[in-house]
C-alpha cells in the first residue's frame, strides 16, 4: 500500500467514524480512506514504513516519521493536514485505546491534525512529535525527556511544555528541561517530573517570558531562574 493524503471529504469521513465510536452504533472503519478515491489522494512510498515504527517509544517514532517525510519528499509536511490525518487513520487500530472491547478514541485533535491551531496541533499523536523532533534533531538525546513512553500516552510534562509554542520551539528550553527532569545515571525521568512540578514549571515560565528573552539565554541561565521549589531538580554545569 502507498501513502495517501486525505481530502476534505476523507477527513470528514474519518471524523464521522471517530464520532460514531462514542455512540451505541459505531460505524465500520471507512476503508475508502486507504485507497485512491475522492477521499484520499496517493502520495507514494510504502505504508509498511509506518508498520515498522516502534509505537512504544515516542522518540524512536518521531525519528522514524522524520525519515518517512524525507523519503516521501514532503516539503511542507508541517502544514499537511491530510497526510498526518491519513497516517493516524492508518495506525488507528494500533494507537487507539480500548476498554471492554470498544475503542475509546478520545478527542479529535489526537487523530485530526490542525496545523493552524497549535493548542490543538500539539495533541496529535504523530504530527506533533515529528515537528518537535524535526526542529531539535541536533539535540536528539535531550528530547527523550519529553518523548519518553508510548505514542498514545504523551504524559503531563509533554502536555504542559508542548502546549506553549514559545517554549517547545526553543532549544535552550529543551536543554533546561532535560537537565532539570532527566536522571542521566538511571536513564529515566526524575521522580516528580510530571504532575504538579510540570504544571508549576509551565506557570513560572509563562510569567518569566514577559520579562526575559528565553531565546537569548542558555539552559543554565533558565534553570537558575527557577524558584526554590525546583531546587531538588536543579543541576548546573550543563
Condensed to tens digits (0 to 9), the pLDDT of residues 120-177 reads 999 999 999 999 999 999 999 999 999 999 999 999 999 999 998 888 999 999 999 9
Written as nine digits, the cell of 150 is 508510548
State the pTM of this model: 0.93
- Considering only CA atoms, which of 41, 39, 44, 127 is closest in space to residue 80? 127
Are 121 and 161 found together in one domain?
no
Q: For residue 58, tell me if it sits in a domain.
A: yes
CA distance 174 to 234: 14
Q: For residue 15, tell me if it sits in a domain.
A: yes
118: phi then psi, degrees, rounded to nearest 5: -60, -35
Are 128 and 38 found together in one domain?
yes
Going by the DSSP 8-state scheme, the letter that residue 43 receives in this structure is: E
The range of the structural domain enclosing residue 182 comes to 155-238
Among the residue ranges 90-104, 118-132, 191-205, the one predicted with the least confidence is 191-205
Q: For residue 146, tell me if it sits in a domain.
A: no
Would you say 164 and 196 are in contact if contact means Cβ atoms under 8 Å apart? no
- Considering only CA atoms, which of 187, 173, 180 is closest in space to residue 217? 173
Number of domains in the chain: 2
Are 110 and 162 found together in one domain?
no
Question: Which residues does residue 44 pair with via DSSP β-bridges, in sequence order?
Answer: 3
210: phi then psi, degrees, rounded to nearest 5: -75, -25
- Considering only CA atoms, which of 152, 160, 142 is closest in space to residue 56? 152
Virtual CA dihedral for 180, 186, 188, 192, nearest 10 degrees?
Answer: -60
Per-residue pLDDT at 235: 66
Q: Is the dihedral of CA 180, 56, 132, 106 positive or negative?
A: negative
Domain limit, last residue, from 92, 110, 138: 138
Are 128 and 166 found together in one domain?
no
Q: For residue 29, tell me if it sits in a domain.
A: yes
CA distance 202 to 126: 23
Q: Does 80 have pLDDT greater than 60?
A: yes
Q: For residue 227, tell me if it sits in a domain.
A: yes
Q: For residue 11, tell me if it sits in a domain.
A: yes
Question: Which residues does residue 99 pair with via DSSP β-bridges, in sequence order?
Answer: 102
Per-residue pLDDT at 116: 93
Domain limit, last residue, from 109, 138, 167: 138
Cell numbers 509551565 correspond to: 202
Are 48 and 162 found together in one domain?
no
Q: For residue 148, tell me if it sits in a domain.
A: no
Query: Mean pLDDT, to the nearest integer, of 26-35?
Result: 97
Written as nine digits, the cell of 129 is 512529535
Are 13 and 115 found together in one domain?
yes
Per-residue pLDDT at 206: 85
Question: Which residues does residue 192 pair with via DSSP β-bridges, in sequence order?
Answer: none
Are 65 and 118 found together in one domain?
yes
CA 229 remoteness from chain centre: 28
Are 134 and 169 found together in one domain?
no
Are 106 and 172 found together in one domain?
no
Are 73 and 188 found together in one domain?
no
Indicate the burial class of 187 (C-beta count within 10 angstroms; 0-12, 13-18, 19 or more).
exposed
Virtual CA dihedral for 182, 157, 124, 210, nearest 10 degrees?
Answer: -110
Amino acid at each position: 500500500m502507498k501513502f495517501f493524503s486525505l481530502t476534505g471529504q476523507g477527513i470528514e469521513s474519518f471524523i464521522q467514524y471517530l464520532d460514531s465510536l462514542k455512540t451505541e452504533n459505531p460505524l465500520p472503519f471507512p476503508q475508502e480512506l486507504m485507497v485512491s478515491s475522492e477521499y484520499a489522494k496517493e502520495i507514494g512510498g510504502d505504508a509498511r514504513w509506518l508498520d515498522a515504527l516502534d509505537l512504544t517509544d515516542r522518540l524512536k517514532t518521531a525519528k522514524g516519521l522524520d525519515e518517512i517525510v524525507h523519503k516521501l519528499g514532503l516539503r511542507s509536511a508541517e502544514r499537511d493536514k491530510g497526510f498526518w490525518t491519513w497516517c493516524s487513520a492508518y495506525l488507528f487500530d494500533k494507537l487507539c485505546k480500548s476498554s471492554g472491547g470498544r475503542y475509546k478514541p478520545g478527542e479529535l485533535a489526537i487523530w485530526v491534525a490542525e496545523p493552524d491551531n497549535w493548542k490543538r496541533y500539539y495533541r496529535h499523536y504523530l504530527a506533533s512529535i515529528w515537528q518537535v523532533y524535526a526542529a531539535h534533531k541536533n539535540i536528539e538525546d535531550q528530547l527523550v525527556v519529553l518523548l519518553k513512553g508510548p505514542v498514545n500516552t504523551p504524559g503531563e510534562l509533554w502536555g504542559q511544555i508542548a502546549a506553549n509554542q514559545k517554549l517547545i520551539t526553543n532549544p535552550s528550553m529543551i536543554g533546561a528541561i532535560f537537565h532539570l527532569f532527566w536522571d542521566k545515571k538511571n536513564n529515566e525521568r526524575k521522580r516528580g517530573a510530571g504532575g504538579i512540578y510540570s504544571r508549576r514549571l509551565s506557570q513560572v515560565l509563562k510569567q518569566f517570558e514577559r520579562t526575559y528573552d528565553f531565546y537569548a539565554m542558555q539552559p543554565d541561565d533558565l534553570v537558575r531562574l527557577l524558584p526554590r521549589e525546583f531546587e531538588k531538580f536543579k543541576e548546573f554545569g550543563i
